[in-house]
A = this chain, B = another copy of it.
Amino acid sequence: MTEFFHVIPPDQFVEMLGRFPKLPPEPVGLDKALNRILAEDIIASEDLPEGARSTVDGFAVRAEDTFGASDSNPALLRVVASIPMGMIPDFTLGAGEAAQIPTGGFLPCGADAVVMVEYTNSTGADEIEVTRPVTIRTNVLEQGEDTRSGEILVAAGKRLRPQEIGFLAALGVTEIRSCRRPRVAVISSGDEVVPFDRTPGPGQIRDANGHAISALVSAWGGSPLQFPIVPDNAQEMTVTVKSALAQADVVTLSGGSSVGTRDLMVDVISGLPGVEVFAHGIAIRPGKPTLLAGQGDKPIVGLPGHPVSALVVAQVFLAPLLLHLQGGQLRKGPPGRRGKAVLGTSVHSTIGLEEYVRVRLEEGAGEDPTAYPVFGKSGMLSTLVKADGIVTIPMNVEGFSKGESVEVIYI
């Protein structure tokens, strides 16, 4: 161990991620903006709708003309017009008058409500009976009721869903601004690691980390740049990391689960010009030997070599870093779905380490699901495949009892 092994609490680690500034904003066409995070508030430049519109098929009326109407005592109204879709009527509706109107049609002046066609009877060519009263604004969407000019439509920091895309299209927003998607260098190291399409020799293993981390980067909005596998050699690792820093916004390395290889990674990273090392480890399990460094604005994350540890750390810390760089809120843990579950068995942890227990969920009928820890040694990738989520046991907690309600983060 060439340096003091500086292990910090997970919350402090997340705080340190916040020191890296978000990436510069770029214009993004609305049709490519799904899941992008808004860099700026979007302000409405017009009212939506532009005038009062009907929300049903029926007749535009003056509400007071229908007061007291019923099946036995209908209100008689004279039909003076049929309003076509997409036209602003150029007449004023007078007392005792009605105008046929389609869903989405614009109300004429004078009209202040719409009677659904179901509550009318046609009694002649130009006459209807209204059998139910309506109050002012019934079945009407007023001008600016959906959105008023000058209002914030969607606030900065929001990740755009299909409904925001539709809403912005309705208001003529064809382009938004969003922080650039981070380019993330993904480097796997280890003399024994071979590419996934090669048959390993005796004692060799295929690169699982490179592919898993690249997939995770894609899942959270980054663009992975997967580098060739680096042997345990300071010179080659230095060349690769330098090249990665030149091309990428974030550099991730994995490997170095054994003390010797880890030392090599620490030495190489801390020996690079302008690099500051912030943490040599996190008080978590799995994933303790995680390194955080930076060269200027570029974070360098040294992940553990064990695929399970590397992937857990990537879920809990790398995914939030990627969202933070895109302008999202920095929050520990995988940014995905969270939900409650009831523990099916007790789980234990070590005081002083925050533990991430992989669990599989069994759905109950309408109730919260039951969470069972996935059986298997920590090094087994199959445990993550069998897991639906993770349960966090805080640093100062010894564990949770069977039957306790816990939060599950879906992974």
Q: Spell out A's residues near B (CB within 8 Å).
A: 30-31, 34-35, 48-51, 53, 55, 57, 85-88, 102-106, 117, 141, 145-147, 153-154, 160-174, 190-192, 196-197, 199-200, 202-216, 218-219, 226, 232, 257-261, 305-307, 311, 314-315, 336-340, 366, 368, 376-382, 384-385, 387, 407, 410-411
Contact = CB atoms under 8 A, between A and B. Distances in A.
Contacts of A50: 200
Given A258-B104, A340-B339, A210 B162 contact: no
Nearest to A170: B208
Contacts of A259: 57, 102-103, 117
B196 A174 contact: yes
A314 B163 CA distance: 11
Contacts of A153: 382, 385
Contacts of A261: 85, 102
Given A87-B203, A104-B305, A339-B339, A377 B162 contact: no
A85 B258 contact: yes
A210 B174 CA distance: 13
Contact of A192 (B86, B191, B368): B86
Given A86-B192, A166-B208, A306 B103 contact: yes
B202 A88 contact: yes
B86 A212 contact: no
9 contacts: A31-B211, A51-B203, A86-B190, A102-B257, A103-B257, A161-B219, A163-B387, A169-B196, A172-B199
A172 B197 contact: yes
Nearest to A383: B146
Contact of A339 (B209, B210, B314, B338): B338
B385 A212 contact: no
A173 B199 CA distance: 11
A160 B168 CA distance: 32
Pairs A-B, 7 closest by C-beta atoms: A86-B192, A166-B212, A102-B258, A337-B337, A170-B208, A169-B211, A163-B384
